[in-house]
Amino acid sequence: MSGISVGLVIVLLLVLAAEFVNGWTDSPNAIATVVSTRVMRPRTAVIMAAILNAAGVLLSGTAVASTIGKGIVKPESINLVTVGAAMVAIVFWSTIAWRFGLPTSESHALIAGLTGASLATAGPGVLLWEGWQKVLKGLFFSTVLGFSAGLLIVTLIVWIFRGVNNRVAKSIFGKAQMFSAAFMAFSHGSNDGQKFMGVFALALVLGGVTSEFKITPAIILICSVVMAVGTSIGGWRIIKTMGISMVKLETYQGFAVETGAAACIELASRLGIPVSTTHTINTAIMGVGAAKRLSAVRWGVVKDIVAAWILTFPVCGVIGWFVAIIFSKIF
């Protein structure tokens, strides 16, 4: 075990910057629907999301963190340059996407950036298939299960409440949506917050501060606070794209979206599967909209969102690779 070097400090700050951006650009996913249905004011929803994101990080365990920290690439084959380059890729890509109001997946940006940087510093042999299997399972959770959960729950709601007056139903689900939005915010912290905890712990090992990969209470606290601060700033551009531009949602639909997406994310967290909150809630919104009629979904907006999803892997991979090459020459 040794002291903290300047290089390690820089990398840890980059990890926290990426965690901050995660709270800033990804957390709005958790509250987009509750804001768009006017159940909660934007400021109130952001405060709630900040608190429950932090709670999700603190109370969710460390299975996802372990997958990210030591399951995607071989920790012994990379260095601090690798981690720093990956964080630069995340911050750059997520900020650009936010500028255009496009919800991106920090999960996929992290995995792609880490992979690209690792390939630059260690070669193809650095990748671990076991971890990548979980990434592929995460794609299933966030797309197929997200869409199906939203579709199923909203269909059940319509059938169960088919004889209830619209005004009464709106009042019921207006209250229920506060709880489903809270569940969604908590689940976001439980999965996304863990990812950067894993990278933080990995950086400490690579920097020689600790001899083994371990998620300590201090790491959990630091990451939860940084994510909460990022969330508190909010992301109205992304809230507008998801909650207003893609599908016009009623309160019962917002409840179905949040409940379905949060359930999928929580299941993934318990299995140690890194899943994209952005993908999960967006596909749940599509499922809910499609349950009414396909034309209820503005597919032009969906096309732009999906394009951003597809671009995340190659763009962040290339940025991570390129920055790692530059950092290697400089440091």
The whole-angstrom separation of Cα 161 and Cα 253 is 13
Q: Assess contact for 312 and 92: CB atoms under 8 A.
A: no
pLDDT along the chain (331 residues), means of 10: 78 94 74 79 80 80 82 90 95 84 78 94 90 85 90 94 87 90 87 85 92 87 83 64 62 91 90 84 85 70 75 93 93 75
What pLDDT does residue 296 have?
60
The whole-angstrom separation of Cα 135 and Cα 91 is 21
What pLDDT does residue 271 have?
86
What pLDDT does residue 140 have?
87
What pLDDT does residue 239 have?
63
What does pTM read for this prediction? 0.82
Q: Assess contact for 130 and 71: CB atoms under 8 A.
A: yes
What pLDDT does residue 304 have?
72
What pLDDT does residue 318 have?
96
Strand partners, 73: 127
Report which of 60, 283, 320, 86 is spatially closest to residue 193, judged by C-alpha positions: 60
